[in-house]
Structure 1
Amino acid sequence: MGLFDKFKKTSSSELTAPCNGNYIDITDTNDEMFSSKMLGDGIGIITSDSELYSPVDGEVTMIFPTKHALGIKTSNNIDILLHIGINTVELDGEPFEVHVKQNQKVQAGDLLVDVDFKKIEEKGYDATLMVVITNSDDYPDIEKNLGEKVLGEKVMKVN
């Protein structure tokens, strides 16, 4: 089985690791908006990988103009926000190279963004990546698989 074969075995309610890293609960992140679940439930990722891949099959619904965040909607209407770093909107897109467009269909494992995490940290920002189910109120059971994970490994199941 190849590395990307893991992505092909997911359902639309399962999210795979968009990168290698240490996966933590959203409540343990250093941003109150995320840790209080104001934007929804999810996970934080501490990674040094420079490439972020789609955790699901879906459609890119939004790319923030400063490239630090994007949204994906699955076929069963799970809304996912990938937010790269804390307060990185202030970097005005500098450390991000987006490889997708709004309304583009993506498959789990498709490259979304190249990120220069070193530059984010050099500028004094927290580089934690957030993966948030923004409509988590619609899904009472979100299972999280936390700890050290590798690209493509299942990290969340939304029921």
Structure 2
Amino acid sequence: MGLFGFGKKKTTDVLSSPVIGKVQALENVADPVFAQKVMGEGFGIVPEDEKVYSPITATVTSVFKTKHAIGLETDDGLEVMVHMGLDTVELNGEPFEIKVNEGDKIEANTLIATMDLNKVKDAGKDTVVLTIVTNTADKVEKAEMTANDTSSVNNGDEIMSVTLK
């Protein structure tokens, strides 16, 4: 590494869509904690299908007891949370089926969960699937949306580029 970090190669990670659906910019999500990026940079996808895939190659670090969220960590230390729906923690795991275990090493676009969209809607909850970089402050120099708000995407389509510090 050069003097004061000059010459250090920056690493860029790509976050892809975890579901088929429509892009929702984080600031447009109907939850102020996510919309104000308190949890970190990221994006939402309003799902049109029940299958949820990993947005990045990573290790599964946590599966929330209520099954509504899965934590991932890349080899370069980026921590990513896939959060299924808003306020779905209150559903005690009912609409979710988790397909991975803590410690699993997975590739981008690996099926990690299914979400019963009708059960989520019937409970009066928002189905948006969020992809959040939870260690944005520590690891991210720049996060850029590469997909347009409200555009239709397939799982695996690039949504955000993240340059690490």
Pairwise same-fold verdict (TM > 0.5): yes
| Structure 1: 4+ residue segments shifted above 3 A | none
1:26 aligns with 2:26: yes
Q: CA deviation at 1:12?
A: 6.9
Deviations 1:120-145 (A, max 9, x none): 00111111111101111221211112
Q: Secondary structure at the match of 1:38?
A: coil
Q: CA deviation at 1:48?
A: 2.1
Deviations 1:99-150 (A, max 9, x none): 0001111111111001101110011111111110111122121111232211
User: RMSD over aligned Cα, in angstroms?
Assistant: 1.3
TM-score, structure 2 length as denominator? 0.87
Report matched runs for 1:4-153 at 5 Å. Answer: 13-137=13-137, 138-144=139-145, 145-146=147-148, 147-153=151-157
For the Cα contact (< 8 Å) 2:12–2:161, is it kept in 1? no
Q: CA deviation at 1:98?
A: 0.1
Q: Secondary structure at the match of 2:141?
A: coil
For the Cα contact (< 8 Å) 2:22–2:47, is it kept in 1? yes
For the Cα contact (< 8 Å) 1:12–1:56, is it kept in 2? no
Larger radius of gyration: 2
Equivalent pairs, count: 149
Separation of aligned partners in 1, 2:117 and 2:65? 19
Letter in 2 for 1:61: T
For the Cα contact (< 8 Å) 1:97–1:115, is it kept in 2? yes
Residue segments in structure 1 that go unaligned for 5+ positions in a row: 1-10
For the Cα contact (< 8 Å) 2:55–2:131, is it kept in 1? no
Q: CA deviation at 1:19?
A: 1.3
Deviations 1:52-105 (A, max 9, x none): 011111100111000000110011111101111111001000000000001111
Letter in 2 for 1:150: N
Letter in 1 for 2:27: T
TM-score, structure 1 length as denominator? 0.90
Letter in 1 for 2:79: D
Task: Name the residue aligned to 2:162.
Answer: 158
For the Cα contact (< 8 Å) 1:80–1:133, is it kept in 2? yes
Instruction: Quote the sequence identity (%).
Output: 32
Task: Name the residue aligned to 2:6.
Answer: none
Q: Secondary structure at the match of 1:27?
A: helix
Task: Name the residue aligned to 1:5.
Answer: none
For the Cα contact (< 8 Å) 1:12–1:76, is it kept in 2? no
For the Cα contact (< 8 Å) 1:69–1:81, is it kept in 2? yes
Task: Name the residue aligned to 1:6.
Answer: none
Letter in 2 for 1:135: N
Separation of aligned partners in 2, 1:143 and 1:73? 19
